[in-house]
Structure 1
Amino acid sequence: METLKCWSLLNGYIVMFMFLTDVGTGSACDAPSSPQCFRKNADDSVYMCEWSMNTTEGNVTFDIYFNENKFERYKETRCIINEEKLIKHQPVDIWVKAHIGNSSCASPRTSVVLEHTIKYEPPRHILVSWLKNNLSLTWAAADKHQALAEIWLQQDKLLTVPWDKRLTNTTYSSLQNQVIVGNLLKHSAYHVKIRQRSTLAQNPLWSNWSEFTVPAGSACETLSNPQCFRKKAEDSVYICEWSMSMTETNVIFDIYLNTNKLGSYKETRCTLNEEQLIKYRTVDIWVKAHVRNFSCASPRTSVVLEQTIKYEAPRHISVSWIKNNLSLIWTAAEEHPALAEIWFRRAVHLTGPWEKRLANTTYKTLKNQVIVGNLLKHSAYQVQIRQRSTQAQNPLWSNWSEVTVPAELEHEPKVTVTITHLNGTRMVTLTWKPMPHAAAVTGVTYILEDTLSQGCTCGKEKHPIVTKNHTASMYVAYSAVNISIFARNTVGVSPPAVIQVPSKPAAELKICDDVVLKELNNASCHEWWEFQDGDTRSKNVMTVSRKRKKPKYKITNDMRDYVRYLYFEQTCYKRKLQTVKMCIFYKKQGVPHKEPGDLIAFGETETSVELSWKAIPLVEQQGHLTHYSLCSIKINSLEQEDCHNISAQWLKYHLENLTPESKYNISLAGVTEVGQGPKATVTIKTLPEKPLNVWLSFGLLFGFFLMSTMGTVVLKRIKSKILPPVPVPVIPDFIPHQLDSQEMLEEKEEVDELMLLQPHPEVMPVSEDAEESSVLPMDWSDSSDEDMENDRGDTKMSGGTSHGDDDPNSTDQILRNSGDITNLEQVDNEITMLMYRNGLVFDVKTDSP
């Protein structure tokens, strides 16, 4: 029984072991997944099949079947099959059988048309960068078109938060796919997973995931692919450059050649010897940046290093205008022409578009030159230029060089001069207007030079004045000076403005004494300027100074006879040239060789005449002209010649004390210390004396008489207005008249019946009597001339006409008939009032009928 129990127990363990063994084998065969067979892109002719299996067993083999056709056995969970062995255009069942020891198990079957199935590789060489709060992801494209990307994001500090999932089409450009994930936080780090699939295949499969961590935006941004090159073909050293926008410090860059790390650097460039490199075949060069705990890799650059040349940016650029063409010259990188790219735009339009030119340079004496035509030399330009080799198989463009080109300086500076006379020196202050703005965009320098007085200086050398101001002062001596001022900018210089400062006027100078050549002060500078035709800026200057020692006899031998020289003795005082002596010097004098020019007479009067002439040229004076001798003599007369000495500076003279209506010969000659020169002559005739103008005198007398008469009348009228005359009673004269005939007497004596009534005093008919009295004289036509004259006389005195009867007793008779003396007095009063009113006298009849 004991044995049976033990056996039974043993058999139970065996059964249990066999059961466990079967279970273990079954678990191995459950692991294979259905396979995926695909191409990596549409151009591939090779298919790849992948599956998975969870097993801990080793020595597992897999058989892959297409329908019922078995292919080779594989030890890995993937295989590669050429398209010739497959049915591509029809659906096929693909499955895998796994073999573990003596057991085997099959995967589920996958039915697929292989031609339609594309599965990309996972995104690789991913370049990440921040664009504000948007994350840019760029990787190498699997096909030459866009793809569909799935991106999962999770903030690095919130790993328990669900993934933020995005699905978007990529942007394809230059074998690169790019996707931008927006609305993130730039200053936060993200854990990113990304995969892709084709957008053109009928049965696209998702690629495997690429997973990485993106640091905050300030940590690692825009790492560019590197460029490795030589500066010229003769160099044996290669330079690698790349760029990265970063604000982090302590960034380390690793540079790789294919998969070989060449070194680590802290800068964005490095230098490599050619022994470290593969120069003659294509290599991939890339950079990995390490920032804190994150690293990012640049895109890869495939290049043959031996064929890659990158020149330095153009340097030492000189610019100049040739009419409206701009010439650019710079140092050549190699001894052959290069290809240049020039961008330019007007300096006044800095935001405007660039105009671009591409041209081969002209090589000459280690210089490259290019001419950009059809520009405006009156305008300023902003220019960018770069170059590359024309000999290398893979030339790279150099970096840009930028230069601002000002307008051409066409005109000389407009200068005004102010001269201040000091003690033995002159301060010349020059002021000029600024150059046009287009010519001064890069700055203008002004240069002043004394181009004439080079003999006497107060220093070892005479240096020009260089200034950026618009005014400058120079101290010069009394000798003539030519000051040249010109403007200079980066394209050239302007024409010079020449300011001629003459010497002190020679008219104020005296002749030098004899000791000038005998006693020369060795501490001073002595100059003799040849003075011809009024030009004190002659280049024929003899100088004696410490620098230019010259024997006195040599100076005398070099001077010419009869030639005027201006002598200056000059010393230095506080580094300023000061004139201590100045005079006119002649080695030998003579009489003038020529007479004064163009002697003319004008403005003749009875006793005077105006004279003018031109000075004798200096070369004809042959000495110091002390004065002019002016002589006049009357023609056909025994009078002696009258001469006057006139100042040598005068060119006009008023000759007086001449005789009216006479002819004169007038002569003029220059006089030096040696004697008198030739005479210039002119003949004149004075005007005759003019008789008194009777008519003018009569007109003056008549005018005086007329003015006095008018004055008298005006005064009388004023007096009559202010002081009127006292009226005088008018007593009419009664002159008896003899009648011519008896008949007329009888007619007058005939008296009708008449009744006399005494009128009332208030109604005295004085006016009626006056009317009758004014009519009676018209009836007396036979009155004598004497009566008419008496009447006119009475009219003048009384202002009117008054007549009575022929009989003088008629008035008395009327008065007697009135019989009232009182009434008569009243009548006299009324008559008096009528006679005098406002100072006027009226003719009133005082008698009654």
Structure 2
Amino acid sequence: MMEGMVVLGLLVFVLAVSIAEDTTCSVSLSPLCYKTSTQPQEDFFCEWKDDDTSQIATYTLFIRPPTSIDNEKFEAGNLLHKHLPLESLISLSPVKIWVQRQADTEICTSPKIFVTLINSVKYNAIHIKTITRSAGTVTVSWPRADSKGADHEIRWKKINASWQNETFVTEDSVKEEEKLDSYTLHVETHSVYKVELRRRAKHSILWSEWSPAKYVPLEIQQPVVHWTEDKHEGQRRIKLSWNVPPPESSYGGVSYNLTLEQPCKKKTTKTTTNTSYEIFITFSEARVSVIAINNVGNSPSQEYIIPPVEHLKYCHNTLESQTKPHCLEWYELIDGETRPPNVNFSTSSTLEYIKKDMKKFVRYYYFVHTGRNKHRRTVHMCPIYSAEGGKFHTKLSLLHLWYLQSERNQHNCKDFVCVCVCVCVCACVSAPVARPPNVTVLNETHNSAVVSWRSIPVQDQRGFLQDYVIWVSKEGHEEPAFHEVPANQTSFILRNLDAGSYYTVHIAGRTHTGAGPNCTANFFTTHYGLAKRDTAILIVCAVVLLISVAISAVITRLKNKLLPVIPSPVISPTPSYHPNNQDTSVVSEEVHQVILLDQKHSHGPNREQSTLLQDCDLQACKEEDEEIEEHFTDLHPAGKSGVFPNLISKGETLRLSMSMLTIEKHQRETNDEVGMLSYRNGLFFENRGLENETTSL
């Protein structure tokens, strides 16, 4: 009886366990076991998922070989993964794998799967290293998982568009240095893309996870850099800023590499995502380059030079001691003013030591910097010469002054001895070797004038220029006036001059070793009264007035010659007379004096021609008389003898009747072959008479 009860209890327990195992399990998927490379000595890794996270559960991983009834059990605790040593597994044959979940008294198992572990390889997700873009192509590169080739899938899309994908296979590595795989896509030139990758080992069914999505923006351009400068206690705070790139180049983010190079310091590189940056530099030159970086590459590199502070012309204080630690920077000034590309610097040399290698009579410039990093500052800066004087300083200076005096007296020294002295002086002392250029005299008055010039180039000064010396001599006087002008001035007013005199000016630059060659200029002072400028203005005005009068006369003469005045008499209309409205008032007769001039012909016409003309004229006159009679019958009474018509003044109508156009026969006979000229109030009348011909007006 007792044994029956024990058997019944075991059956109930087995049934309960079997019912619990058959219930739905929150571990709904089989565990996934794999290794991350194709290397044979690598261990395996199993992972699974639990949909129920409301209660604490423990997990056990079971692996059963196909030819065994015993399960290999691996406790995972409350973790969802388990590391499996290679030695405890059979990887060449298929095995059955599942996970058992236990929460309190509830036990369930995941689905069971068969897998051959040797072929179960799952690579880690790809990390895209570089993306390059050029001329419609995008090349993506990533590190290999191992030396073996693999199957790959790539997908890409435009922004807000659908995915496109391709699969490809990479081959095994031939060389050990080949550590990157790459693939090239053909894309549109001006579009922004997004790209992802995944891979799996050959003969494996497990794909890796997709790589993090990478944007493929347009190529980025070199940023334009600006800066502002703020000086303070031997150092400068430089604030750099540059433009923000366009959105098409900014997808995926943009960073900037800033490289700073300055004397006495190593080249440093900083990275920032901002569009501004502050640096602290000394008073000497610094060089900065800013490179923009996006997902497809770097912008071109361009170096920006932050120039040094303005070079001093003179050193007002000398360096007595150098603080340590320090950095001494020095260089030869190109053309006496410009910093060269390469400079010298040392952290241990002294000023006296570096003078040994300097060229004589050549200007150098030096800085002394102290401190480190942001605290580095400039404590001293100055122009310097290694030597300004010669061995025979005093004697040669006197000799040089004697040469200048002889040049002033002779204006042009061409004597052999004088030339030898000049060459010797210029070679042995550091006086300037050039004249002040562009010497001019302006604003001359009767007692003053302004002399101006340009500074002597630094490379020709051969030392620190102390001042300019000016000699002013009047024609006919041997003793010149002497003036000294500070070296930073380029003009001088000459006063107390004599009016209407001729002067000569000599100007030379002078260092502490002596004066250099001089430049000469001549000028006249004006007489008392009008100044030279006022006199010139009056002369110009007089010349302009004379030219204007001459041009006016020429224009008037040409106008009269080319466009003469032509008289145009005005003839008023003839009033209409009618018998019904004829004016019966007494008409006053206006008599004008007529001058008749005789015009004699040297030869008269022959009788035959005269007869023909007379007949023609008589016939024409008869026809004309008939027409006139029709129009003017009412103007003259019938039977009245004809008379010459009155010649009316300018502006009135000539009224002619039939009787006025006929001439008596005896008058024609006496006036035969006579031509008459008449003038009346500026009008010209010509009267020609032939035998038996009616006179015409």
Question: Normalised by the size of structure 1, how large is the TM-score?
Answer: 0.45
- 1:402 is paired with a residue whose SS is coil
Distance in 1 (alpha carbons) for counterparts of 2:167 and 2:469: 79
Partner of 2:582: none
Match of 1:582 in 2: 381
SS of the counterpart of 2:239?
strand
Q: State yes or no: 1:344 paired with 2:126.
A: no
Alignment of 1:580-619 (within 5 A): 580-589=379-388, 590-595=430-435, 599=438, 617-619=457-459
Question: In the alignment, does 2:136 pair up with 1:321?
Answer: no
Give CA deviations for 1:171-229 in whole Å, capped at 9, x if unaligned.
Answer: xxxxxxxxxxxxxxxxxxxxxxxxxxxxxxxxxxxxxxx999665xxx62651563545
Conserved? CA contact 2:234–2:377, under 8 Å: yes
Given candidates 513, 521, 532, the residue that maps to 1:674 is 513
Contact 1:424 1:580 (8 Å CA) reproduced: yes
- Residues 1:305 and 1:522: Cα distance change in structure 2 (over 3 Å): closer
Residue number among 458, 461, 465 corresponding to 1:625 in the alignment? 465
Once the two structures are TM-superposed, the CA of residue 451 in structure 1 deviates from its matched residue by 0.7
Amino acid at match of 2:26: C
Structure 1 Cα separation of the partners of residues 27 and 471 of structure 2: 106
The match for 1:252 is: 59
Q: Which amino acid aligns with 1:587?
A: S
Distance 1:568 1:322 in 2: 46
Compute the displacement of 1:561 (Å).
1.7
Equivalent of residue 568 in structure 1, options 357, 367, 384: 367
Name the SS for the 1:503 alignment partner.
coil
Equivalent AA in structure 2 for residue 480 of structure 1: E
Task: Sort the Cα spacing of 1:553 and 1:370 in 2 relative to 1 into closer, same or farther, 3 A.
Answer: same
**Aligned match of 1:472:** 277
* Cα distance in structure 2, aligned partners of 1:382 and 1:631: 82
- Kept in 2, the 8 Å contact 1:502–1:536? The answer is no
- Select 1:503's aligned residue among 305, 308, 313: 308
Task: Report deviation, 1:587.
Answer: 0.9
Report the secondary structure of 1:233's partner residue: coil
The 1:540–1:226 alpha-carbon spacing in structure 2 relative to 1, beyond 3 Å, is closer
> Which amino acid in structure 2 is aligned with residue 558 of structure 1?
D
- How far apart, CA to CA, are the structure 2 residues paired with 1:613 and 1:410? 53
Equivalent of 2:357, from 558, 572, 575?
558
User: Cα deviation per residue 1:105-146 (whole Å; 9 max; x = unaligned)?
Assistant: xxxxxxxxxxxxxxxxxxxxxxxxxxxxxxxxxxxxxxxxxx
Code of the residue aligned with 2:282 in structure 1: it is A
2-structure distance, mates of 1:586, 1:565: 6
Q: Which one of the candidate residues 137, 141, 146 is aligned to 1:334?
A: 146
Partner of 2:179: 367
SS, match of residue 309 in structure 1: coil
2:101 is the alignment partner of 1:298: no
Distance 1:427 1:632 in 2: 51
What residue identity is the alignment partner of 1:622? R
- Give the SS at the match of 1:555: helix
Contact 1:631–1:643, Cα closer than 8 Å, also in 2: yes
Identity %: 23
Question: Shift of the alpha carbon at 1:549?
Answer: 2.1
Post-superposition CA distance 1:344-384 (Å, at most 9, x none): 334x43x7425546352785526123043435788765432
The higher relative CO (CA closer than 8 Å, separation ≥ 6) is in 2
Q: Corresponding residue for 1:189?
A: none
- Does 1:430 pair with 2:240? yes
Listed as ranges, the matches of 1:648-797 within 5 Å are: 648=487, 670-677=509-516, 689-691=536-538
Larger strand share, 1 or 2:
1
CA contact (8 A) 2:217 2:295 kept: no
Q: Which SS does the other structure have where 1:401 is aligned?
A: coil
Q: For the Cα contact (< 8 Å) 1:282–1:304, is it kept in 2? A: yes
Q: What secondary structure does 1:580 align onto?
A: strand
User: Deviation at 1:670?
Assistant: 4.6
Q: Tell me the distance in 1 between the aligned counterparts of 2:465 and 2:167.
A: 72
Equivalent AA in structure 2 for residue 252 of structure 1 = Y
Q: Does 1:417 align with 2:417?
A: no
Mapped partners of 2:514, 2:383: distance in 1: 18
Alignment match of 2:332 (pick from 503, 526, 530): 530
Aligned to 1:398: 208
* 1:583 to 1:331, Cα distance in 2 relative to 1, 3 A: same
What pairs with 1:263-278 in structure 2 (closer than 5 Å)?
263-264=73-74, 265=76, 266-278=78-90
Rounded Cα–Cα distance in structure 2 between residues aligned with 1:329 and 1:451: 33
Query: What is the rounded CA distance, in whole Å, between the counterparts of 2:94 and 2:467 in structure 1?
Result: 102
Q: In the alignment, is residue 383 of structure 1 matched against residue 182 of structure 2?
A: no
Give the structure 1 partner of residue 658 of structure 2.
Answer: none
Q: What secondary structure, in the 3-state scheme, does the structure 2 residue paired with 1:557 have?
A: helix
Unpaired runs of 5+ residues, structure 1, are 1-209, 456-460, 698-849
| Whole-angstrom CA distance in 1 between matches of 2:453 and 2:140 | 61
Question: Which residue does the alignment assign to 1:206?
Answer: none
Shift of 1:557: 1.8
Could you tell me how far 1:614 is from its partner in structure 2? 6.8
C-alpha deviation, 1:505, in angstroms = 1.9
Contact kept in structure 1, 2:45 and 2:82, CA below 8 Å: yes
Q: What is the SS of the residue equivalent to 2:212?
A: strand
What are the within-5 Å matches in structure 2 for residues 196-207 of structure 1? none
Match of 1:759 in 2: none
Task: Report the Cα distance in structure 2 between the residues aligned to 1:498 and 1:603, rounded to whole angstroms.
Answer: 47
Q: Match for 1:673: what amino acid?
A: H
Matches of 2:235 and 2:385 in 1, distance apart?
24
Q: CA deviation at 1:426?
A: 2.7
Task: Give the RMSD, CA atoms, in angstroms.
Answer: 5.1
* Cα distance change, pair 565–256 in 1 and its aligned pair in 2 (3 A): same
Q: Which residue identity is paired with 2:349?
A: K
In structure 2, distance between residues paired with 1:615 and 1:407: 57
1:571 Cα shift? 3.7
Find the aligned partners of 1:507 and 1:552 in 2 and give their Cα distance. 18
**Contact in 1 for aligned 2:504/2:521 (Cα 8 Å):** yes
Going from structure 1 to structure 2, the CA distance change for 1:396 and 1:678 (only over 3 Å counts) comes to farther
- Displacement of 1:564: 1.9
In the TM superposition, what is the alpha-carbon distance from 1:615 to its structure 2 partner?
Answer: 5.7
Given the alignment of the two structures, is residue 237 of structure 1 paired with residue 77 of structure 2, yes or no? no
In structure 1, the residue matched to 2:661 is none
Q: Distance in 1 between matches of 2:452 and 2:22?
A: 107
Q: CA deviation at 1:467?
A: 4.3
Alpha-carbon distance in structure 2 between the residues aligned to 1:232 and 1:680:
91
Output the amino acid matched with 1:582.
M
Specify the code of the residue in structure 2 equivalent to 1:319: T
Whole-Å separation in 2 of the counterparts to 1:309 and 1:323: 36
**Residue identity matched to 1:541:** N
| C-alpha contact 2:29 2:111 (8 A) present in aligned 1 | yes
Write the letter of the residue equivalent to 1:250. Answer: A
Q: 1:553 to 1:296 in 2, by over 3 A?
A: same
Q: Would the alpha carbon gap of residues 261 and 620 (structure 1) be closer, same or farther in structure 2, given more than 3 Å must change? A: farther
Which residue identity does 2:378 align to in structure 1?
T
